[in-house]
Amino acid sequence: MAQLTCLGSCREIGKSAFYLEERNESILVDYGTKFTNPPSFPDMVPIDNMQAIAITHAHLDHSGGIPRLLAEDDNLSLFCTPATRDLCIPLIRDMYEISGGRMPFTRRDISRIKRQTQPTAYEETIPLGHSFEMTLFNAGHIPGSAMVSIRYDSKRVLFTGDFNAITSRLNNGARINLPKHDVVVTESTYARRLNPDREEIEQALIQTVLETVERGGIALIPAFAVGRSQEVMCILEEYGIPSKYPIYVDGMARTVNKVVVKHPNYISSPHAFERAVKRARVIYNRQDRANALKRPGIIISPAGMLKGGASHFYFKMLYGDEKNSIVLVSFQIPGTPGAELLAKRRVTVGNREYAVQADVRYHHLSSHSDSRGLMQMLQSIPGNPEFFLVHGESESCDALGAKLEKKGKKVTIPETNDSFEV
């Protein structure tokens, strides 16, 4: 018997962290941030007998607190794909700078990730201490994302992290035909949504972009720096946007592009992505930004929900002209400027309200499986596992729980810091 403690992402998204203890040894899977002000982290756990930390992927809600743990012990090792290692470092640095250093670790601790990571490929099995064995499987969510499978005694537990079973222009779909598992700790993000057909969304996105540039406007695509920006670049490349319309990339996406090019094994079409990177014009400074606004074109820029970043600057320059369009490509969390824009065609920044004249479109390129995809994937795991549902709004966890129970599965929806014998 091992003990599983769910330290975070219980009935919410943020602060993913799971602590598994067996005899006198332990493993931690993920140690992420929640974007409160200042950002918050899961409770600390003892690291004396910790054999490893594994991270599923680079998004900060899974990786953001890692330097805090590594700072406790120089010999503590982090296991993740090399792509995850190289993506999470710039993301954590950026979070650190934005928070003004209000973090439970120093800037120097972030560079420990490079030193203390043991890069691990998909499907490679690694013994950890006397009690555990770990294997990473492709999760299909962003480049380098993994499901973490841990064997202990004669049992096996799977931490799905965030996953997408569908192959996109950027990512191969999650590993199917998983081995037998006894316990599955799964995300529930889109347990209450059905995503439209991928190709339809891509075509609609291309149509919006072409209509915009052909009428002399600029299409602003606010997108997450990791994953979504690269996918949009690949879609624009695939559908062949005429070269007279420049495609610009700004913000953190520039750094991420360089990292992803270095890890071609972790994307679905490395050559297409390389072509997309060559085609894109990188924005380095104010002069580049001013130039990008001079003629019809496409600007891909974080943040994905118009929450600050370079996308704010472009928004202010483009919102007032109906020739332009603002194209949202991810779910917009209620309370964000992006959600306000979709609902009311206006955005409030500080005391100022911007009534938007530009065309506003929503083409959601999800990087998570939808309710059907979740059920298909979870039901296909052999061994009749017990399910722990995390990483979703409370209602989403309940919805997925009800569906799994209907199929005769054993389901638990943990609260923060709940522990279980598994």
Which helix (H) or strand (E) element contains residue 118?
Answer: strand 117-119
The residue among 67 and 140 lying less far from Zn ion, judged by its C-beta, is 140
CB of 100 to Zn ion, least distance (A): 25
The residue among 162 and 398 lying less far from Zn ion, judged by its C-beta, is 162
Q: What single string gives the DSSP state of each residue in 180-242?
A: --SEEEEE-TTTT--PPPHHHHHHHHHHHHHHHHHTT-EEEEE--TTTHHHHHHHHHHHTT--
Residue corresponding to tokens 């899974």: 62
CB of 227 to Zn ion, least distance (A): 8
Site size with Zn ion, rule: CB under 5 A: 2
Binding mask 107-146 for Zn ion (x = CB under 5 A): ----------------------------------------
Per rule CB under 5 A, is residue 391 in the interface with Zn ion? no
- Which residue in the shown chain puts its C-beta closest to Zn ion? 59
Per rule CB under 5 A, is residue 359 in the interface with Zn ion? no
Q: Which stretch binds Zn ion (CB under 5 A): 56-64, 228-236, 309-317, 349-357?
A: 56-64
Per rule CB under 5 A, is residue 162 in the interface with Zn ion? yes
The residue among 59 and 312 lying less far from Zn ion, judged by its C-beta, is 59
How distant is the alpha carbon of residue 366 from its chain centre?
10
Question: Buried (b) or exposed (e) across 213-222, using 16+ Cβ within 10 A?
Answer: beeebbbbbb
CB of 116 to Zn ion, least distance (A): 22
CB of 201 to Zn ion, least distance (A): 19
CB of 357 to Zn ion, least distance (A): 34
The residue among 135 and 160 lying less far from Zn ion, judged by its C-beta, is 160
Per rule CB under 5 A, is residue 59 in the interface with Zn ion? yes
Q: Which amino acid is at 199?
A: E
Q: How far, in Å, are 14, 33, 41, 90, 99 from residue 104 at the CA level?
A: 17, 11, 9, 17, 11
Contacts of 160 (CB under 8 A, 6+ apart): 56, 139, 147, 184, 185, 186, 187, 377
CB of 139 to Zn ion, least distance (A): 9
Q: Which stretch binds Zn ion (CB under 5 A): 53-61, 76-84, 200-208, 320-328?
A: 53-61
Q: Which of 194, 49, 183, 36 is nearest to 103 (CA)?
A: 36
Q: Which stretch binds Zn ion (CB under 5 A): 19-27, 155-163, 238-246, 252-260?
A: 155-163
Residue corresponding to tokens 């490929």: 121
Q: Which of 388, 407, 412, 409 is nearest to 185 (CA)?
A: 388
Q: Which stretch binds Zn ion (CB under 5 A): 23-31, 46-54, 118-126, 160-168?
A: 160-168
Question: Buried (b) or exposed (e) across 138-159, using 16+ Cβ within 10 A?
Answer: bbbbbbbbbbbbbbbeebbbbb
How distant is the alpha carbon of residue 35 from its chain centre?
14
Q: Which stretch binds Zn ion (CB under 5 A): 45-53, 147-155, 162-170, 232-240?
A: 162-170
Q: Which stretch binds Zn ion (CB under 5 A): 16-24, 38-46, 54-62, 112-120?
A: 54-62
The residue among 188 and 208 lying less far from Zn ion, judged by its C-beta, is 188
Residue corresponding to tokens 């999650």: 174
CB of 125 to Zn ion, least distance (A): 24
Task: Tell me the β-bridge partners of 148.
Answer: 136, 159
Binding site for Zn ion (CB under 5 A): 59, 162
